Chains A and B, each alone.
Chain A
Amino acid sequence: MNESDKEIVDKCLEGNGHLYEILVTRYQKKIYNIAYRFTGSKEDALDITQEVFIKAYNSLRKYDPNYKFSSWILKITTNYCLDIKKKKRVETVELNLDLQNNDTTVSAENSYIYKENQKAIYDAINALPEKYRIIIILYHNQNQSYNEISKVLNLPLTKVKNRLYRARLMLKEELEGIRREESEWIVKKLQY
């Protein structure tokens, strides 16, 4: 039951394609969440997740067992995300906050602050250029190491590091901007 990813890939390649289900179950949450953080849309995230798994299955022979399956599928995911973003760059990202998922025991005020912070950071992430956004999601939300990201994105380690540093600063600036707008808004409100 607890077969390794590689064993399952081997079995799929021997003709037991139905076992691929196990790999989908193992990685769907990770991929769906990356795609969701990246696109800001649940609909797009669903499409991406499905397409990534189908693409991976159809090119299973290209999988190099010297690498982790999770890295390989992550690579397909990031390529796919960056690809579709290129295609629909002009469209603005619509944000869907799922507030139902939040802890219902927090007080109304706390939940309001939490919601505001979350929204601010979502906006800030979505405002980042793609190549920075993907790195900050992988590093800070998906706990991938520099080595892993460098492998997945096919970038030298120094470049990954530089982009992450720049991404953090951009995010900080976005947050700063949002805070400034908020306080201006409050000041305006107080003036009336």
Chain B
Amino acid sequence: MDCKKASILMMMFLDNTISESDKLRLQNHLEECNYCKQEFSLLLESINIIESIEEIEPPSKIKDTVMSRIDTNKYKEKSKTRLWILWITVIFSMTTGALAYLVFNNAVIVKEILIPLLIKFVNFVTLTLPVLLVKIEENFFVLMGVGMVIISMLLSSIIILVALQYYVTEKLEIKFRGGFKF
């Protein structure tokens, strides 16, 4: 047996996969070959030292640091959000479904109520719009005042809604997946 083959057998020995007969052949080679003998003893020694390196105890603060740096509610929120999305989808699809059912099964409603209503609306707009425009011109400043009041009411209600949203997401820890974060 040559040294190359012996080297492979040494590796198999370290892997614990060497057969008894190969072990014997290796042994025989080592007795003849000083180079391999030296090689094998150094190999064994290094592996023995690595394997006997004792484990050290990790610092006790690892657990606390990790637990303080993760969000233990991370997945709770996710499942809550999923529930929300599920509910919204269910309600939305049921409503649309019900509406579609009503419309298609009661063509009467469309024909006798919705269409006349639409006609009345168009009539109202075309007939009264010119008169209305004159009136608007006459009372421009009053209307502008009213408009500003309405706009400011809208703005303040938006602000209130945003604040409410903030309160809900931050304080009550409910998050909506993507978006909605102020």
Contacts and interface: CB of A to CB of B under 8 A. Distances in A.
Nearest to B57: A29
Contacts, number: 111
Contact of A50 (B39, B55, B66): B66
A18 B67 contact: yes
A4 interface: no
A17 B75 CA distance: 7
Contact of B75 (A13, A29, A117): A13
Interface residues of A, number: 49
A101 B56 contact: yes
Interface string B71-83: 1111111010000
B65 interface: yes
A36 B56 contact: yes
Contacts of B65: 50
Contacts of B46: 121, 124, 168, 171-172, 174-175
A140 B48 CA distance: 9
Contacts of A25: 63
Chain B contact-residue range equals: 20 to 34
A12 interface: yes
Main secondary structure of the interface of B (DSSP, over half): helix
Contact of B69 (A54, A117, A124, A136): A54
A128 B77 CA distance: 45
A64 interface: no
A26 B62 CA distance: 12
Given A98-B56, A165-B11, A24 B42 contact: no
A49 B43 CA distance: 31
A-B residue pairs, 9 tightest by C-beta: A17-B72, A15-B76, A32-B58, A121-B49, A53-B66, A140-B50, A57-B70, A172-B42, A171-B46
16 contacts: A14-B76, A20-B70, A21-B63, A24-B67, A25-B63, A28-B63, A37-B53, A46-B62, A101-B56, A121-B50, A124-B46, A141-B53, A172-B39, A172-B42, A172-B43, A176-B42
